[in-house]
Amino acid sequence: MTITLSSEITAQVVGLITGTTGVNSLLSTLTSTGGMPISPINVPQVRAQNVAPDIADQANVMQYPAINVYCEKISNNLVEKFRTFSGVVQVVIEVRHSQDRLDGLQDRLDNYADAVMQVLNANRGDWGDGMFYGGAYQVAFGATRHGGTNFMQVAKITFEIGVSRS
């Protein structure tokens, strides 16, 4: 059941990001510093996969920005005693941006991360099938390092989905 739950929630989050009210619908309103346009995210750039950036660069021809969605932790706390699963699923959305120059890298990553946070804010509440998102999340910005097209930076957005199933 936990493997199915992980895959199901990950697929639902990918659907929220790539849907009609997803990240691309919000990117058009955001602009990076200098007035430079922000590239939209294509569906192949959003993956349900937990893979390190350096391995992804070696294994695939990566397109940036890239968004990886994965389940990081499942906790069956048995809050409701007679349920098979009653707990939380911790989900991570990693936004990776890479470009050949340092100038504007942080600003563009901030815009992509902000769009993802707006998608989460717009989808608070009941997700159906015993899943509920309360609206809380944490964002951690990593340091710029070598990778991708030259320089890469990652924003890691972590949140929990409450799950109650028989």
Domain coordinates of the chain in residue numbers?
A: 2-165
**Distance, first Cα to last Cα, the chain:** 11
Mean pLDDT, residues 28-39 taken together: 64
What pLDDT was estimated at residue 31? Answer: 60
The percent of residues above 90 in pLDDT, for the chain, comes to 60
Mean pLDDT, residues 44-52 taken together: 86
Report whether 23 contacts 116 (CB < 8 A): yes
Give the span between the Cα atoms of 161 and 131, in whole angstroms: 6
Predicted TM-score (pTM) of the model is 0.90
Confidence band of 115 (pLDDT split at 50, 70, 90): very high
Report whether 136 contacts 92 (CB < 8 A): no
- Does residue 65 have a cis bond before it (omega within 30 degrees)? yes
Q: Mean pLDDT of all residues in the chain?
A: 88
Q: What is the CATH architecture assignment of 2-165?
A: 2-Layer Sandwich (3.30)
Q: Is the pLDDT of residue 129 over 50?
A: yes
Mean pLDDT, residues 156-161 taken together: 98
